[in-house]
A = this chain, B = another copy of it.
Amino acid sequence: MLSFRDPIHGFIRADALETELINSRPMQRLRFIRQLGWTFLVFPGAEHSRFSHVLGTMHLAGRVYDALAAKSGGLLPAARDCRERRLVRVAALLHDVGHAPYSHSAEDLFEEGIDHEEMTRRLIDTPEVREVFARHGDGLDRREVQQVLAKEARGPRRLLSEIVTSELDVDKMDYLRRDSLYCGVEYGSYDLERLIDTVAPIEDPTNGQWRLGVDHGGVHALEALVMARYYMFTQVYFNVTGKVMELHYAEWLRSQGLRWPADPDAFLQHDDVSVWQTMRRSDNRHARALVHRERFSLAFETGEHLTAGEQRRFGELLPELERRFGADNLLIDHSAKDPHRLTKKRVLVRRYDGSLQPMAEASDFIRHMSRIESYRVYAPEALRREVAGAVRELWGS
C-alpha cells in the first residue's frame, strides 16, 4: 500500500495490486521516460517523467469512475473496492508502459511494425506482470485490463475504456494540467472539478453503446478542455525549438538504423538514459545537434491551418529545396493535429429536457476549430537566410 504526494492531485494512494504493479520493471522504467521528450530543453521545468503522469491518470480514473457510478443508476457499482473501479484504475496505470524513449518523438520505429499500444499489451503479458496479477489481483485478470485498453469490452464496461481512452479521457485531463504546471504556462488550465462533476454515462441511441458524455452544464467545461489541448499543441507540443530537436533525434535514430525491440524484455532496456548515453558518444551530426546544441535554425514556417491544396503545393517545392541545399541541410517539420475528433467520435450532451445532442453540434467553438496543418523548414544557421529566401521565393509569401 503506497501513498504518493503529487503536485497536481495531492495524495495519490495505491492498493496492494497497484503497489506491486508500480514496483514492477515496466512501470519503474517510466521514471526514465520524460513525459514531454526533448521539451525540457525549451521549457526547463518540463523534466517530469511518464511515471508521475500515470499515477495521476490512475487517480483521476477512480474519480471519474465514482462520478459515473453515482449517476449510473446501478449500471456501475459504487463501492470503492468494486471490481470495475479497480479495473479502470489499473488500466489507467498501465496504459503508457509501452512508450518508447523520449515519448512521442520516435514512435514509428518499433520492430515488426508494432506500435506502443501493442508493446503495452506485450508488457502486460510478461511473466513479471502476470505474477503480480496472480498474487495480488484478488480476482482481477490481466486480460481484462488488456480488453479495457483495447476497447473490446461490451455493455457498461465499455465505459471503463472510455474513461481511459476517449475524447474526454483521464489521460488528457492529467497531462494538460501536469504539462502546464511543469512548463510554467497556463495554456493547459481548464475546470477539472466542473468537468468531473458533469461527465455522465450515456447510451448512444444510434448503436446502443455506452459512452462518456456530459450533462448540459458541462458543455463549456468540455469546450475548455478541447481549447486547453489545442493551446498546448500550438504553444508547447509543436514549439518551434522543440520540434527541431525531435527532428534531429529522429534523423539520428534513422542514421543508426535503431529500432525499438519488439521483444518486451529487450525493450525494457531502452529508455531516455540509455539513449542519451549513446548519443553523447556519437559523432553523428544530429546527435551533436542535441548534445552540443548545434541545432538547425528555423528558416521558414507556413501558417497554422494550411488547406489541402496548400499542403500539396508545399510538398511540391521540397524537391527543389533539396536540390539547391542538399537534403542533409534541411529538416522539414510537418505539424498536424485535429484539435478534437468530436466530429467523428460522438460525444453526447444530455440536455436539460433529457434529449441528446452531439457535442459537435452543441458547441459553436468545437464546430469551428480548424485542424492544425503547418510546415516548418529548418537549416544550419549558416544557411538559414539563404534557405529562408529560397522558400519565400518558391512559396510566394
Chain A interfacial positions (CB closer than 8 Å to B): 3-8, 10-11, 23, 28, 31, 40-41, 43-45, 47-49, 51-52, 55, 181-187, 189-194, 197, 220, 224, 227, 231, 234-235, 273-274, 276-277, 293, 305, 364-365, 367-370
- CA A185 – CA B193 in complex, angstroms? 9
Contact of A51 among B6, B44, B293 (CB under 8 A): B44
Q: Which residues of B lie under 8 Å from residue A227 when comparing CB positions?
A: 227
Could you write out 7 A-B pairs with CB less than 8 Å apart? A3-B197, A4-B43, A7-B181, A11-B197, A28-B293, A186-B194, A187-B224
Q: Once the chains bind, are B55 and A6 in contact (CB under 8 Å)? A: no
- CA A5 – CA B185 in complex, angstroms? 7
Query: How far does the Cβ of A28 sit from chain B's closest Cβ, in whole Å?
Result: 7
Which residue on chain B has the smallest CB distance to residue A24? B293
Number of copies of this protein chain within its complex: 4
Query: How far does the Cβ of A305 sit from chain B's closest Cβ, in whole Å?
Result: 6
Contact of A186 among B31, B185, B189, B368 (CB under 8 A): B189
Q: Once the chains bind, are B364 and A305 in contact (CB under 8 Å)? A: yes
| Of A187, A192, A369, most B-chain CB atoms within 10 Å | A187
Q: Which residues of B lie under 8 Å from residue A273 when comparing CB positions?
A: 273, 276-277
Query: How far does the Cβ of A126 sit from chain B's closest Cβ, in whole Å?
Result: 16
- CA A340 – CA B55 in complex, angstroms? 36
Query: How far does the Cβ of A356 sit from chain B's closest Cβ, in whole Å?
Result: 15
Which residue on chain B has the smallest CB distance to residue A41? B31
In the A-B complex, list the 10 residue pairs whose CB atoms are closest, starting with the nearest. A368-B368, A5-B184, A7-B184, A44-B52, A186-B191, A7-B45, A10-B193, A6-B184, A189-B189, A277-B277
- CA A187 – CA B3 in complex, angstroms? 17
Q: Once the chains bind, are B44 and A55 in contact (CB under 8 Å)? A: yes
